[in-house]
Amino acid sequence: MNIIPAIDILGGRCVRLYQGDYERSQIFNDNPVDVAKRWVDEGATKLHLVDLDGAKAGQPVNQKTIEAIIKAVDVPVQLGGGLRNYSAVASVLALGLQHAILGTVAIERPQLVSNLCQEFPGQIIVGIDARDGKVATKGWLETSEVLATDLARQMAKLKVAGIIYTDICRDGTLKGPNIEALRELATVVNIPVIASGGISSISDLLKLLALEPTGVEGAIIGRALYTGDISLTEANQAVGQGRWQDVPPDLGYSAFA
């Protein structure tokens, strides 16, 4: 399972939100490029960027910072936030991104998702951000009536490269991932699922590792890395050496089977 550090950019700074609330942001570093270099130095094999300003504005905002990060590191980079039309996706992929992450348009313009998957095969990921099982849109500012599992099935048929599932109620809280929701989502699609939101400990990662046979192949970690609750080096070691049998008895696979 791949451990992917998150770098959320707001106003040109590296921040973390609490449950997607822009009014409850915490600045961790004024220079996201330095943060990117740090995570790569500590063993990151991929980076997850979010243009929070872009998510709110409906179009990319922090392109210069994003391009600087891509040029500064030698690992793949994926980006979400404000990618709601063809030109926005094409422009950020031209910067050298491995994956562009679509959110709002997955609900509002599924045909666009299909077209982008054909134009950029293997480079389009859909981020499904859910609140109480229903998909949130427009930078988490609105909640639809669409179920996350239904959207996942639809996107899999369009041949997206993967799905990033974020439980907004867990994001930034350090309360652990929503294992049940992830298990359900991973079992309804046959494409890779990446977990995001609430991951706070090595034990959380081992729980996710237990789900790996069903399709959960990555974990995006944000706040826990910045607060020191998780060491990236130790996390990579634990996941690289671990198997679901290594999960402590009180966190065992049977709890999720």
Contacts of 127 (CB under 8 A, 6+ apart): 80, 101, 102, 103, 106, 163, 164, 166
- Tokens 């031209």 -> residue: 94
Q: Domain 2-255 belongs to what architecture?
A: Alpha-Beta Barrel (3.20)
pLDDT for res 171: 59
Q: What per-residue confidence (pLDDT) applies to 153?
A: 96
Report domain extents, the chain: 2-255
Instruction: State residue 247's pLDDT score.
Output: 42
pLDDT tens string 142-163: 677 889 999 999 999 999 999 9
Question: For 209-228, how does the pLDDT look when each residue is reduced to its tens digit (9 = 90+)?
Answer: 887 666 688 999 998 999 99
pLDDT tens-digit readout, 150-208: 999 999 999 999 999 988 876 565 678 888 889 889 899 999 999 988 898 999 999 88
Closest CA to 113 of 94, 141, 139, 104: 104
Q: Between 139 and 105, where is the model more confident?
A: 105
DSSP assignment of 104-138 equals HHHHH-HHHHHHHHHHSTT-EEEEEEEETTEEEET
pLDDT at residue 130 tops 90: no
Over 60: is that where the pLDDT of 139 sits?
no
Checking if the pLDDT of 255 tops 70, the result is: no
pLDDT of residue 138: 62
- The pLDDT, as a whole number, for residue 68 is 97
Residue 254 confidence (pLDDT) above 60: no
pLDDT band at 46 (very low <50, low <70, confident <90, very high): very high
The burial class, CB within 10 Å (0-12 / 13-18 / 19+), for 30 is: exposed
Q: What is the DSSP string of 154-197?
A: HHHHTT-SEEEEEETTTTTTTS---HHHHHHHHHH-SS-EEEES
Percent of the chain at pLDDT exceeding 70:
85
Structure tokens at 187: 């079992």
Active site residues: 8, 129
* Predicted confidence (pLDDT) per residue in 73-126, tens digit: 999 999 999 999 999 999 999 999 999 999 888 888 999 999 999 999 999 999
